[in-house]
Structure 1
Amino acid sequence: MSTSVLFDHYGEPGTLYVKDEPVPRPGSGEVVVRYRAIGINPIDWKILRGDLRARVPMNLPGACLGVEAAGVVVAVGPGVRRFTVGDPVIRHGRPGTFRTHEAVPAAQEADQLTPQPGRFSAEQAAVLPVAAGTAYSALRQVGLRAGERLLVHGASGGTGLATVQLALLMGASEVVGTGSARHHALLRGLGATPVEYGEGLRDRLDRLGPFHASVDCAGGQQPTDMAVHAVKDPARRVTIADRRAHERGVPHLDHVPLELASTLDLIGHSPFALPVAARFPLSQAAAALALGLEGGVGGKIVLLPGE
């Protein structure tokens, strides 16, 4: 049997329920993946609450959250050439990973499955697509170059932590990241210069500047104002969190094609890891989402389907 975590109507994490279903069979051009780890992201609770129903419509009742996971191919449908049974893969893209098994299109054009590099554990592979992929696109959008100084707002969140590390891999001379004091040791350990957000942030940034580019992973009035203040060229600012910030001069993110594959190419064998702050069994997905909603976790949250 396959276990899924589903919801029948938009609402809070308590609306999720667990359902056992037959293991799916792959159709033409599909593979069935058995998930070993599943990443949780803010988009999950935004979808669940109905905040994104216009852009990410869900097939209710019986909809499934989850936009990233890592697992192993356990069955291959007719016409599949990219993968064979036993291949470790990373699944990313459309919602549907809050389950133990899933039938997934395997064509390159679908861009939903990427081979999992052997250097990553299932947990690390599962949390890469959203955080690291988004960070990669953001850094490409602002045109970060070697030797430049980058400002990252919300640096202690999943995407912020990825942005710090990828920027340094791209050759940034310094990455300054805003975050609460309790996360400063984590940011220093990754090579960033941490700075406390809140009152007086402008003065603190002025002492640390100048900056060539800015990536906002937090959203809100202060990150937007500070991005405009610290980086004069609008083309070198981006936000992943505030769709209204473009009205104030901070463009929203545009994802690049084959985002995850390009990110993995950049990482190669260089040191790179996203802290996992909490782990839950798949059956406790509601509790995992509730923790994420509280904020300030300081790393990724992972669901473990078990065997």
Structure 2
Amino acid sequence: MSTAVLFDRYGDPGELYVTDVPVPRPAPGEVVVRYTAIGVNPIDWKVLRGDARALLPLALPGACLGVEAAGVVVEVGEGVRRFEVGDAVIRHGRPGTFRVHEAVAASQEADELTAQPGRFSAEQAAVLPVAAGTAYSALRQTGLRAGELLLVHGASGGVGLAAVQLARLMGAEVVGTASARHHDLLRSLGATPVEYGDGLLDALDRWSFDATVDCAGGPQPTEAALRAVDRAERRVTIVPDAAAQGRGVPFLDHVPLELAATLDLIGHRPFALPVSARFPLSRAAEALALGLKGGTGGKIVLIPGE
């Protein structure tokens, strides 16, 4: 048997429960992965509350959260040539990683598994897909180039921190908005921090920006994006907001094979996302509750087997 964290109805983290389930067997074209670290993201509590049911419909009861994880292939189904038993992989995409074992489509076309580079620990690999992948697509959407100046709103969140680092790897300069307690971190990553709140718009006027990525959402980042960057195609937000889109801040469009492209950009150069909290898989409800409070300053990770 294996362990999974499931829920039977939409609601708050209290709906999650830990249960034993059979270890899956791979169908043709699938592999079974045993997870070693699992990322926790805002999309998880949105799915749990039912906010994302139109985008990510789930079969209830017995649905499973989790859209990113790192693990090891433990069984290979018929026809699979891309992975072998013992391969370290990163799982990303549809919900279902809040468990120890999962059968996952192995083809590149399915885009649910990517080989884990040896330079990343399991924890770092597990938190790459959502934050780094989203940031990569956002930067590509703006057409960011070396030597340009990028404005990142919400630069201290997971996607924001990834956007800062990836933009620097692309040769761009970065100004990031964040609360004062995160400014030292942003400076250490090569960004110039600016504090949220009153006076932000005037403070940003000292720079001439080429592109902007909004990782926070809301009226002020939207207004700042419009004021800082003239061309709509050089603005993007990762937050779906009809008001922002109506005013000319386009919503994110993910690129194909997003994680693989992100890893190609990173290569062997410095890149890391801070992990602010770790929980055993059995305490997934506590992890989600912490994430709902916000302001953790890093990613939250579940560790199976602890």
Query: 3-state DSSP class of the match of 1:110?
Result: coil
Instruction: Return the alpha-carbon distance in structure 2 between the equivalents of residues 54 and 105 of structure 1.
Output: 23
Q: For residues 213-224 of structure 1, what are the structure 2 equivalents within 5 Å?
A: 213-224=211-222
Q: For residues 138-287 of structure 1, what are the structure 2 equivalents within 5 Å?
A: 138-172=138-172, 174-207=173-206, 209-244=207-242, 245-287=244-286
| TM-score normalized with structure 2 length | 0.99
| TM-score normalized with structure 1 length | 0.98
Query: 3-state DSSP class of the match of 2:287?
Result: helix
Instruction: Return the alpha-carbon distance in structure 2 between the equivalents of residues 241 and 278 of structure 1.
Output: 24
CA contact (8 A) 1:7 1:63 kept: yes
Instruction: Return the alpha-carbon distance in structure 1 between the equivalents of residues 26 and 136 of structure 2.
Output: 32
Q: What amino acid is aligned across from residue 147 of structure 2 in structure 1?
A: G
Instruction: Return the alpha-carbon distance in structure 2 between the equivalents of residues 226 and 306 of structure 1.
Output: 45
CA contact (8 A) 1:64 1:96 kept: yes
Aligned to 1:53: 53
Runs of 4+ residues deviating >3 angstroms: none
Aligned to 1:109: 109
Instruction: Return the alpha-carbon distance in structure 2 between the equivalents of residues 77 and 53 of structure 1.
Output: 30
Q: What is the deviation of 1:129?
A: 0.3
Query: 3-state DSSP class of the match of 2:98?
Result: coil
Instruction: Return the alpha-carbon distance in structure 2 between the equivalents of residues 94 and 50 of structure 1.
Output: 15
Query: 3-state DSSP class of the match of 1:151?
Result: strand
> 5+ residue gaps in structure 1?
none
Aligned to 1:36: 36
Instruction: Return the alpha-carbon distance in structure 1 between the equivalents of residues 192 and 279 of structure 2.
Output: 31
Q: What is the deviation of 1:248?
A: 1.3
- How many residues in Structure 1 have an aligned counterpart in Structure 2? 305
How large is the Cα RMSD of the aligned pairs? Answer: 0.7
Instruction: Return the alpha-carbon distance in structure 1 between the equivalents of residues 109 and 118 of structure 2.
Output: 23
1:134-192, Cα deviation, whole Å (9 max, x unpaired)? 000000000000000000000000000000000000110x2000001111111111111
CA contact (8 A) 1:220 1:242 kept: no
Aligned to 1:10: 10
Q: What amino acid is aligned across from residue 274 of structure 1 in structure 2?
A: L
Q: What amino acid is aligned across from residue 306 of structure 1 in structure 2?
A: G
Q: What is the deviation of 1:273?
A: 0.2
Q: What is the deviation of 1:306?
A: 2.2
Query: 3-state DSSP class of the match of 2:91?
Result: strand
CA contact (8 A) 1:76 1:85 kept: yes
Query: 3-state DSSP class of the match of 1:108?
Result: coil
Q: What amino acid is aligned across from residue 212 of structure 2 in structure 1?
A: S
Q: What is the deviation of 1:243?
A: 2.7
1:99-129, Cα deviation, whole Å (9 max, x unpaired)? 0000001111100000000000000000000
Query: 3-state DSSP class of the match of 1:109?
Result: coil
Instruction: Return the alpha-carbon distance in structure 2 between the equivalents of residues 306 and 36 of structure 1.
Output: 8
Instruction: Return the alpha-carbon distance in structure 1 between the equivalents of residues 240 and 223 of structure 2.
Output: 12
Q: What is the deviation of 1:203?
A: 1.2
Aligned to 1:134: 134
Aligned to 2:118: 118
